[in-house]
Chains A and B, each alone.
Chain A
Amino acid sequence: METAKASTDPEQWLDAHGDALFAYAVMRVRNQALAEDLVQDTLLAGLTGLADFGGKSSERTWLTGILKNKIVDHVRKSSREESYEADLEDGNEWTEKFDATGHWVSAPAHWGDPALVAQNAQLKEAMMTCVQRLPEKLRMAFVLREIDGHETEALLQILNISTANNLWVMLSRGRERVRSCLDVQWNGAT
């Protein structure tokens, strides 16, 4: 059992994983000072919980898991001050997508086989760009749901959103904004 402990060296954490943890945090919270604090909190929590590191996952994965929880804790706390519920009356972006007969004004582009296309490096880059262009509340919902895979029931609490229906609407608007952004930013796998 001692070998697991011996396989990690906390003195090396900051140099080995600091930048990766910072990039992970800043991509999600969009605030440099806050991301730095989250990295520090994560490394401190890692020291405290060193005994829990079983060596089953890599150090990086283990520390990232701690950071992922810290980010959720932060969002949960900040949503108590101001909910992440987006103003859904804001603008008619959804209705503008469709004409009077309910058909697409601009039809979705042909991207190709999802399983193959999803591996495309340029798509990944474009998606990062498009996600960061979302309005903050839609962005946070999209990131936590689509990228980090939190369940919708959990997100209602984390984001302090009043009804499941409102969360579903926010997520569908976020997806639609990212999708139409990708249709412009990225023109297919070829």
Chain B
Amino acid sequence: MKIDCSEASTLTSASYDRKLTAGEIVRLALHRLICGPCRLYKKQLETMRRCASRLAGNDEPPRETLKQDARERIRARLQARDKAD
């Protein structure tokens, strides 16, 4: 029931999207015991998951901004909506 790095990395990624079966968990753990690169792979994916959630926010200065014409168009549309009330 040994798995190789290709299967181990597939399972590692899958563990972020679904529950692994008991058998998969055991095979993955046994593989990582003897495989340094796959232990690093797991750490990298965990780092990425944590870092990705930092990209979700909207608090920092925006890297792309509204063009002036778009801004004016939206402003006019909002004002039209106000008057319609």
Contact = CB atoms under 8 A, between A and B. Distances in A.
A32 B41 CA distance: 36
B71 A44 contact: no
A179 interface: yes
Interface string A141-185: 000011111001000000000001001100110011011001100
Interface residues of B, number: 47
Q: By CB atoms of chain A within 10 A, which of B48, B70, B81 has the most?
A: B48
Nearest to A109: B40
Interface string B36-70: 11101101111111111111101100111111001
A44 B59 contact: no
Contacts of A43: 74, 78
Nearest to B6: A98
B14 to A, nearest CB: 5
A118 B47 contact: yes
B4 A101 contact: yes
A118 B4 contact: no
Given A14-B71, A107-B37, A110-B40, A175 B64 contact: no
Contact of A152 (B18, B43, B64, B65): B18
Interface of B: 4-7, 9-10, 13-14, 16-18, 36-38, 40-41, 43-56, 58-59, 62-67, 70-71, 73-75, 77-78, 81-82
